Amino acid sequence: MATLKDIAAACDTSIATVSYVLSGRGDERRISSAMQEKVVRTAEELGYDLAAKARKSRRPAVAVYWPQRQLDTVLPAFISGLNAAMGMAPISADVIIQPYEPNHLAEQNGLWSPGRVGASVIVSASAEDVEALRRRRTTYPAVLVNRTLEGYPCVTIDEDEVGQLAADYAKQTLGDDVSLVLPDRWLQGVQYRSRSVQESLDRYGVVPRSIHTCGIEINDGYALGQRMLLEGKLPRGIICLYDAAAIGLAQALKDAGLKIGQDLELIAMSMSYTNTNSHLFHNMTVIDLRQVEVSTRAINLAIELATHAGADNRHIVVHPTLIPHR
């Protein structure tokens, strides 16, 4: 096996510099990014075991890369999953939340350089971020949440089943009189979901009466509800692909005197549904995307990978649950 001296000689630098880089202290010692990348690349080429130190640690560390913006409403479900994972883990582990700007995951040096973490969890990466992971493998194992990429372990909701559940329920209860509400911003997960719903409806020969777009905040859904009321006759049912917007939409309809679940059916797809906030979805039919379980299983897998050596590219699929309105 290569030594620090071998790596230093190949990089034309000092053993101290190599030691700082491989211990995750390169930035602290103001070692250039170019040199840090050269040291890591050379260590890999010479067969140096970058993950050995992390694996030998009795208390593994897992970094969770959380995208800033877009997923604020999902955080409580993720924390619930994190707590559940920590409660069932066979050994204690440190979990570090690392916010990142969407489309800039490649700038997170901790993914590409050695440090104290033994594995990471990357939540809802954008298409650009997924491409960055495709071009360059992370130094330590990285578990992708709700994304799939060859060569990486993944934990995802079954998006095809989500669409099938929505279409089945809509066909049985609403017939052909249904509208869709999609987020007005680019969200990769919702794109999968939207395609799945529309393809499933198409198999039943159901053409949505209308397709609306709105933002992903409660206020956005409320504003859309007001616009739909002004436009005239409402459909028998609405499928809303983002839960916060669905909550706002429901409130606008209630304020107009309509009874959700009686006058109109509202089907919400929720990444944030938990027992503690179920009252927010009162009288709605919810397709629970089970992010608590997704998060639990992703953290468990990351702790396992941080503790034990070896590659593991499992793809764990979690199935959604339909919760009819009460």
Q: Whole-number mean pLDDT of the chain?
A: 88
Q: Which pLDDT score is estimated for 58?
A: 54
Q: Does the structure show a pLDDT above 90 at 150?
A: yes
Start-to-end Cα distance in the chain: 64
Quote the pLDDT of residue 296.
94
Q: So what's the pLDDT on residue 129?
A: 94
Query: CA angle, corner 272, sides to 76 and 111, nearest 5?
Result: 65
Which amino acid belongs to residue 266? L
Convert the pLDDT of each residue in 299-319 to its tens digit.
Answer: 999 988 888 755 678 999 999
Residue 102: which of 67, 70, 77, 134 has the closest Cα?
Answer: 67
Residue 99 has pLDDT above 70, yes or no: yes
Question: Which of 53-67, 185-199, 214-228 is most confident?
Answer: 214-228
pLDDT at 222 over 90: yes
Work out whether strand 237-240 and strand 178-183 pair parallel, antiparallel, or are unpaired: parallel
Q: Quote the pLDDT of residue 304.
A: 87
44 versus 252: which is more confidently predicted? 252
Would you state the pLDDT for residue 223? 97
pLDDT above 80: residue 28: no
Q: What is the topology classification, in CATH, of domain 159-288?
A: Rossmann fold (3.40.50)
Please state, in angstroms and as integers, the Cα–Cα distance from residue 196 to each residue in 125, 236, 284, 323, following that order: 19, 21, 21, 19
Q: Rg of the Cα trace of the chain?
A: 23
- For range 97-114, the mean pLDDT: 89
Between residues 71 and 8, which one has the greater pLDDT? Answer: 8
Asked if CATH classification 1.10.260.40 holds for the domain at 1-48, the reply, yes or no, is yes
Question: pLDDT of 162-187, one tens digit each?
Answer: 999 999 998 888 888 999 999 887 67
Check residues 114 and 196 and name the one with the higher pLDDT.
196
Domain boundary assignment for the chain: 1-48, 159-288
What is the per-residue pLDDT for 310? 53
Residue 172: predicted pLDDT: 87
CA distance 193 to 188: 9
More confident residue, 326 or 3: 3
Residue 70: the pLDDT is: 66
Query: Residues 318, 324, 325, 326: what is their CA dihedral angle, to the nearest 10 degrees?
Result: -110
Range 209-226 average pLDDT: 94
Taking only the tens place, the pLDDT of each residue in 122-133 is: 998 989 999 999
Q: What is the pLDDT of residue 57?
A: 43
**Position of tokens 């640690």?**
57
